[in-house]
Amino acid sequence: MKRRKFIGNAISFSLLMVFHREAQALSKLNMEKGEALEPSTSRFKKITLYTSKLNAQYDFYNKILGFRIINKDEKQFSMQLGESVLQFKEVKDGTEPLYHYAINIPSNKYNEAKKWLSDRTTLLLNGNGGDLFYFDFWDAHAMYFKDPSGNIGELIARHTLNNDSDGEFGVSDLLCVSEIGTPVNNPSDFASELKKEYGLNPYVGSMFIGDENGMFVVVPVNRPWYPEYKVKANIHPTDIYIYQVKERKPINIKIIRIKLNIKNKF
């Protein structure tokens, strides 16, 4: 398979396209494991992140947050978050990968979600000491937390989406992974590549590529991660599987795998 190289060989950006029969076979396999057969809104089918603290990560997401575990072995575990799967794989190369990701929740449940999350873990604070963030530039409320690896997770209620729901907040209200941080050396080149290869456009500003149901948060290397601005973003192995769906019919689902890493290791 031909590999595209850009940004001074700092990043390996390769893709695997799976059409029709392969996509149907993969969807069938995933359905048997408890994953959704096909998306209704989500862009990200699956995201794989890496950690040197696999056991601590598992205990946090399973025992503390109560996320739904669908697969686990000695080297990885996977969680079903609505229409997306978030996987952590163990790394033993001496690195400490750190990421940012966000999960969509119903737009009317941000207060309930804040209480639910704060009952289980410590929320990150803004500059004024508050733990609920409002972004007027895209009309959304959000809250942040850290896992044992230091990854910055986010629950976000986007009021531009028609996804209100009734009842108390729970893990069933985790609708999909809607953001993944992608630090790169040249954000404009990476954004151009996403547009050229996958037709993804900036959402609000130049750093958010995609839409409310799935976007790449494209930041330069060494930019401090929001909201604490204490940890600098860096390039770590990331596997991102995205849907490209026309007319929302299974025959037209195209699953694309994007792998990001440094020094062309993939």
Rounded to a whole number, what is the largest CA-CA distance in the chain? 53
Alpha-carbon Rg for the chain, nearest whole angstrom, is 18
Enclosing H/E stretch for 97: none
* Side chain identity at residue 185, one-letter code: N
CB distance 77 to 58 below 8 Å: yes
Beta bridge partners of 113: none
Domain ranges of the chain: 4-260
* Side chain identity at residue 117, one-letter code: L
19 to 40, 213, 258: CA distances (angstroms): 18, 22, 15
Say if pTM beats, i.e. exceeds, 0.85. Answer: no
Supply 159's token pair.
């009021």
CA distance 145 to 113: 12
Q: What is the pLDDT along the chain (266 residues), one digit of tens a residue?
A: 333 333 333 333 333 333 222 333 333 333 333 333 344 566 899 999 999 999 999 999 999 999 999 999 999 999 999 999 999 999 999 999 999 999 999 999 999 999 999 999 999 998 888 999 999 999 999 999 999 999 999 999 999 999 999 999 999 999 999 999 999 999 999 999 888 888 888 988 778 999 999 999 999 999 999 999 999 999 999 999 987 654 444 434 456 667 766 432 22
55 to 72, 98, 106, 147, 187: CA distances (angstroms): 11, 16, 30, 12, 33
**Which CATH superfamily includes the segment(s) 4-260?**
2,3-Dihydroxybiphenyl 1,2-Dioxygenase, domain 1 (3.10.180.10)
The DSSP annotation for 67-89 comes to -EEEEEETTEEEEEETTEEEEEE
